[in-house]
Structure 1
Amino acid sequence: MAHVHLENVSKSYGALSVLHGVSLDIANGEFIILVGPSGCGKSTLLRLIAGLEAITGGEVSIRDRVVNDIRPKDRNIAMVFQSYALYPHKTVAKNMGFALQLAGRPTAEIDAKVNAAAEILNLVPLLDRFPKQLSGGQRQRVAMGRAIVRDPEVFLFDEPLSNLDAKLRVQMRAEIKSLHHRLKTTTIYVTHDQVEAMTMADRIVVMNAGRIEQVGRPLDLYDNPKNLFVAGFLGSPAMNFFNGRVEGRFFRTNGGATLELPPSLAQAGDGRELVAGIRPEHIALAGGASGLATTVVVDEPTGAETMIALDLAGDTLLATFRDRLTVHSGDQMTIHFPPGRIHLFDKRSGDRLTVEEHPLD
């Protein structure tokens, strides 16, 4: 295990700057996930930690040792890539032990480490097979085994599940998390899949345009997003947003819908151009005549829940209900936004009016 520290790390390719002064502390044994849209710099940052790219500015430290000018093979890290990168002419055992063979380790040591990793990853029956005889999930486990045998201080994963189908991704998420619990090795994992980030990480680092937007535990980021970007990126389906203004105890959307607010939040947002946000699962059905009148645009029953796109005074929103509702396009629905579930964001800066400063009533 090792503590990893990034201090004001930047990366440029000529005139193009892709990372802008990134600083981050990763504790011993922590599972950190870097997440963000394509082009945000997350994979570039991982490659800088690995030593596969030269740093333009700042410092990368592993176990209190600055590694900027240290070759990748001397950083005591192991990386698992999106592509399995297995040698097709070598067996599973030979693929897993090849790095140790290159390092000149004794055959007995290589065999012992390969067998130990194979036990962890349930690869023992496959050690004599070739990559073409394996499924996608089995090949990814071999790539992980190749990293494990090196006994690194830090594991680096670069979108390792992108090539797998949905069912296999779920299985491999559980296997990687279980592996981390067993080995307790510091792990830095890159993905664009927010579900992977929410279900696997000790902490999530949300990146955008080469900068860190917010760092925190998954549910903390989900419940208390720092700004509009984080609120819109985390969550599937995404948070609903409405432009408007606070008028007394209410937020009035530009389309004329009126949303009740907690007193402290209404007072904090008084007179400002704001964006209100609410997650689809926090929208409730309203009984009787009270509530907000909406029109069904489309319904999407999934079995476990029903997702319904609704028109609210000209704004389209998505609501998720656990009940199996039978509705059709054009039907009328009356819904309710619980005041304590509404977030307010400054329209210009994108920053959220924080719960700490203005607790929800």
Structure 2
Amino acid sequence: MGSVNIAQARKSYGALEVLHGVSVNIANGEFVVLVGPSGCGKSTLLRMIAGLEAISGGEIAIDGKVVNTLAPKERDIAMVFQSYALYPHMTVEANMGFSLRLGGAPKDAIKARVAEAAKMLGLEDYLKRYPRHLSGGQRQRVAMGRAMVRKPKVFLFDEPLSNLDAKLRVQMRSEIKRNHQRLKTTTVYVTHDQIEAMTMADRIVVMNGGVVEQVGSPLELYDRPANLFVAGFIGSPSMNILSGRLENGTFMTADGTAFAVPGMASFGNRDVRLGIRPEHLCLDPNGLRAEIVTVEPTGSETQVMMRLGGHDVVGVFRERVVNAPGEMLPVSIDAERAHIFDPQTGKRLEA
């Protein structure tokens, strides 16, 4: 295993700087997910760790050794890409053992390592097959096995599940996490899918515009987002954000919709953004009246898009909602779980 320490890492393409001094420390055996919208710099940072992109400033160290100028093969890392990148003329067994053969490993050692990885990944019956005879999920397992046989200090995953259908993505998420729990190899995983990040990570690094917005465990980011960006990005459906004003512990929107927000009186009278998770809206016959826009039943729950206080909001209810669009739905807000943000800085305000 190996730690990864990134200190003030910068990346520029000519005059264009795409990473602006990123610092992240990843401990031995930790599973860290880099997440953010397209173009935020997460894949660029991963490629810098791998040595596939030169670092423009700062420092990257693996297991305490600065690797800024080292070639990828000298960093003791293994990378799994979005594309499987398998050799079509080689069997599964040959694909998985290829890097070891290049390194001059003995045949018996290669065979043993490939067999060990194949057993972990459920590929024992496919070793003599060629990639064209495999499903997408099986090909991705082979790509993972090719990385595993090297027994590197660090695994790097660059959106490995993007090409899979929804059911396979769920299955592969579980397999990757289960294998990490077995191997305890330090893992850095890039995705734009925050559900992947929430379900797999020990810690999540949320990136936006080449900077780190927040680092923390999945539930830390979900329960205490540092700013409006993290609040809106983490969670599906995302947090509802309402603009309004606090007056003596009461939140009021521009159209006069008002409700008490316990514990927020200490903020005084000021303009704020109020955030509320969709599951913290409740059906309440004595609550506020919201106009239904759409109703989306999923079986176990119902998602309802509504117009409330001049804002489009989403509620997630365990109850079955049979009302039609245009009808009014009485709802209340679990105000004790509300978040208050500064409208200028976007930062979460602490009570």
TM-score range relative to shorter protein: over 0.9
In the other structure, the counterpart of 1:149 is 149
- Residue-by-residue CA offset, 1:86-143 (whole Å, 9 max, x unaligned): 0000000000011111111111111111111111111110000000000000000000
TM-score, normalised to structure 1, is 0.96
In the other structure, the counterpart of 2:349 is 353
1:191 aligns with 2:191: yes
Displacement of 1:291 in angstroms is 1.9
1:305 aligns with 2:301: yes
Instruction: Kindly indicate whether the alpha-carbon contact (under 8 Å) linking 1:242 and 1:276 is maintained by their aligned counterparts in 2.
Output: yes
In the other structure, the counterpart of 1:324 is 320
In the other structure, the counterpart of 2:205 is 205
- Which of 254, 271, 274 lines up with 2:272 in the alignment? 274
Equivalent positions of 1:28-47 (< 5 A) are: 28-47=28-47
Instruction: Kindly indicate whether the alpha-carbon contact (under 8 Å) linking 2:248 and 2:269 is maintained by their aligned counterparts in 1.
Output: no
Stretches of structure 2 that go unaligned for 5 or more consecutive residues are: none
Displacement of 1:323 in angstroms is 1.1
* Count of matched residue positions in the alignment of Structure 1 and Structure 2: 351
Match for 1:300: what amino acid? E
Instruction: Kindly indicate whether the alpha-carbon contact (under 8 Å) linking 1:272 and 1:346 is maintained by their aligned counterparts in 2.
Output: no
Displacement of 1:349 in angstroms is 0.1
Distance 1:204 1:145 in 2: 24
Distance 1:314 1:111 in 2: 65
3-state secondary structure, aligned to 2:99? helix
Displacement of 1:249 in angstroms is 2.0
3-state secondary structure, aligned to 1:199? helix
Match for 2:40: what amino acid? C
Distance 2:65 2:259 in 1: 53
Match for 2:18: what amino acid? V
Distance 2:334 2:123 in 1: 50
Instruction: Kindly indicate whether the alpha-carbon contact (under 8 Å) linking 1:255 and 1:315 is maintained by their aligned counterparts in 2.
Output: no
Percent identical residues: 60
Instruction: Kindly indicate whether the alpha-carbon contact (under 8 Å) linking 2:292 and 2:326 is maintained by their aligned counterparts in 1.
Output: yes
Displacement of 1:259 in angstroms is 2.4
Displacement of 1:314 in angstroms is 2.3
1:61 aligns with 2:61: yes
- Residue-by-residue CA offset, 1:21-60 (whole Å, 9 max, x unaligned): 0111100000000000000000000000000000000000
Displacement of 1:285 in angstroms is 1.2
1:315 aligns with 2:311: yes
Instruction: Kindly indicate whether the alpha-carbon contact (under 8 Å) linking 2:247 and 2:270 is maintained by their aligned counterparts in 1.
Output: no
TM-score, normalised to structure 2, is 0.99
Match for 2:326: what amino acid? G
Displacement of 1:266 in angstroms is 2.6
Instruction: Kindly indicate whether the alpha-carbon contact (under 8 Å) linking 2:253 and 2:310 is maintained by their aligned counterparts in 1.
Output: no
Distance 1:54 1:313 in 2: 50
Instruction: Kindly indicate whether the alpha-carbon contact (under 8 Å) linking 1:299 and 1:306 is maintained by their aligned counterparts in 2.
Output: yes
Displacement of 1:148 in angstroms is 0.5
Instruction: Kindly indicate whether the alpha-carbon contact (under 8 Å) linking 1:33 and 1:191 is maintained by their aligned counterparts in 2.
Output: yes
Stretches of structure 1 that go unaligned for 5 or more consecutive residues are: none
